[in-house]
Structure 1
């Protein structure tokens, strides 16, 4: 037997039949605020994304192929998202993109994905404008018209407020939209928005606005912003003697709210997508696995990051291909997908109809108060 053939025979005896070449992995892109001002949001969503990819790969992958996650940090900075998403699509050749949490950065990435005809799923961007960017853009969370509406009803029915004030960020698309939806619903239900004060993301002194709120004699103050500014507003409100209920949105859900706000955020309320205190089997199982994987408890952003990947995996299985138009169509047809943050059925605008929960800060922790259904 010639030398090379003998070596081949020996290899077969040692290792068995030659294995077929491994299929190329399916590349999935993610852009997130892993550092910077909203880092706790991006890090939490990223943990959920990573865990979903790991679990899918452990179960054999999708379409017989392993998922490969290409994650990039946009540093919570305007302008970074578009650059990163272009790189994920053109250089990394991802078949879909997960991101972002903040609506303003999702709008940047969505424009790039729509132009390239690459599906994008935002875990937690609630501004309606995100999916309005085009038919390749999806989300795993409810949207601001619902969130603003349910918080207006919460203010009236649970807080029994008749006159409220609003503190909104002029630099956040989400905050501007939520203020409008809240104001319209509160007025429809017979309440009065006595005044709306504005600030810019990054501001640190809110005493002038809060002095005006105090003078208006409102029953409660709605703060549709992110956790850094929300914590500072709460601290300065209490320092000025405002003892009215303070309440906000999903952008409050971060350990930093309590670290920065301390006693001032005790008793405050906010709407969000998910409560780890939910006793549903899917939530209990997710919490256990998440704690084991990361050594910390889960939260809304982790659940939404996880569900975003599972939406994509479900669509890939139904499409039977990574071909972008077919994958887009399968995503658009998502129906009755049981996720960690609720059952997901997408409407014609590629938004899910889901319940919201209201949490309250007590003892430095976030505790479930009520579920509000559409």
Structure 2
């Protein structure tokens, strides 16, 4: 016969074994297994999104959030996916990779989402993508272009082109289209996006017979670029390639003008695309170019329809971040509608099979490496606006 202490120990042991059994029964995939069955019985499909809604790159996160919200509302107004609406759950990663990891874990383990949208910055998408892939929940990044992002595993996709394509196109545009052979290079050494683009650009310039006459790298936290600009100027480049974010490009443009370097000498990348760049440095960057995923005046019917809807809702012109996030959400919903099973793995397979998806940023096909095969747009800053200059074929950049 058990005494009081023995009885207490027995009950405690039974409770511990029960908790252990429950813990072992839950699969590491988060939204897989039992959670997937729960998703089927819920009145809506839960999709998570982690974005930089505060911190250094807030503009990118806010634009992306608006694009996703517009897309989800349109999807739900049209009947949702397989008769149920999508509920989007947003998390703010504060523009920090470590927060991206935490937020993706929360979305999968706590909220049991069946798919994830995010992030914009490649460093944060890679961090979040590692978690999503380990948990076996599909993730689509709207705008992260560094090739390493999708290499983390089969559950991570992107709705944008990659930096190897963008870097090569930047080089081809300068050397082959603008006929400038002597080029300067200015980039952030501690940023995966910027340093990756710089490498691709450098290699392609050399292949095309051009020369990088001077390159200068800086840390993202720096704000005084005068020394770098003067050193670049002393090398007499015909153009300067600056694959950086708008947060650095605006002060660089102002300091370059003060040093006698005109904005028309600069060619950049999609990280320039933010209203803040026009607000802070449009005059200094008059005539500059950058590679991008779309322009507000691009002559594509789907893009024009998106711009019209966005302006009606937010009373401003959408950035490429908003357009790409809109496409990522629409592409995910399209895959969900085609999925043979409404499980994370079923959705993953459907995303992989995406071909000829008609988006606001062009026609998208997901290739074997889970990257988007789509057009590259050249944008020019003209009359203090982002204006469409040309469309280039991505495949031509690979030749």
TM-score range, shorter chain: over 0.9
1:232-251 correspondence runs (5 A): 232-243=251-262, 245-251=265-271
- State the match for 1:131 in structure 2: 150
- State the match for 1:257 in structure 2: 277
1:188 to 181, 200, 207: 207
2:52 to 29, 33, 45: 33
Structure 2: give runs of 5+ residues left out of the alignment. Answer: 1-40, 395-399
Structure 1 position 66, deviation (Å): 1.2
- State the match for 1:61 in structure 2: 80
1:306 to 314, 321, 326: 326
Alignment of 1:74 with 2:93, yes or no, is: yes
- What SS does structure 2 have at the residue aligned with 1:193? strand
- The answer on whether the counterparts of 1:257 and 1:265 sit within 8 Å (CA) in structure 2 is no
1:344 to 361, 364, 369: 364
1:111 to 106, 127, 130: 130
Moved more, 227-236 or 103-112: 227-236
1:219 to 238, 247, 250: 238
TM-score, with normalisation over the residues of structure 2?
0.86
Structure 1 position 352, deviation (Å): 1.1
1:153 to 129, 153, 172: 172
Structure 1 position 262, deviation (Å): 4.2
Alignment of 1:335 with 2:355, yes or no, is: yes
What is the number of residues matched between the two proteins? 354
- State the match for 1:18 in structure 2: none
- State the match for 2:28 in structure 1: none
Change (3 A) 1:262 1:315: closer
- Distance (whole Å) between structure 2 residues aligned to residue 197 and residue 147 of structure 1: 20
Moved more, 260-269 or 307-316: 260-269
- Distance (whole Å) between structure 1 residues aligned to residue 323 and residue 133 of structure 2: 25
- The answer on whether the counterparts of 1:114 and 1:135 sit within 8 Å (CA) in structure 2 is yes
Structure 1 position 23, deviation (Å): 4.8
- State the match for 2:221 in structure 1: 202
Structure 1: give runs of 5+ residues left out of the alignment. Answer: 1-21
Structure 1 position 322, deviation (Å): 2.2
Alignment of 1:368 with 2:393, yes or no, is: no
- What SS does structure 1 have at the residue aligned with 2:283? helix
TM-score, with normalisation over the residues of structure 1?
0.92
- Distance (whole Å) between structure 2 residues aligned to residue 228 and residue 325 of structure 1: 38
RMSD: 1.4
2:375 to 352, 355, 359: 355
What are the Cα deviations for residues 311-366 of structure 1, in whole angstroms up to 9, with x where unaligned? Answer: 11111111143211111111111111111111111111000111111111122111
- What SS does structure 1 have at the residue aligned with 2:202? helix
Moved more, 131-140 or 278-287: 278-287
What are the Cα deviations for residues 212-259 of structure 1, in whole angstroms up to 9, with x where unaligned? Answer: 101111111100100011111121112111236111000000111122
- Distance (whole Å) between structure 1 residues aligned to residue 83 and residue 45 of structure 2: 10
- Distance (whole Å) between structure 1 residues aligned to residue 177 and residue 386 of structure 2: 18
1:276 to 296, 313, 322: 296
- Distance (whole Å) between structure 2 residues aligned to residue 32 and residue 247 of structure 1: 27
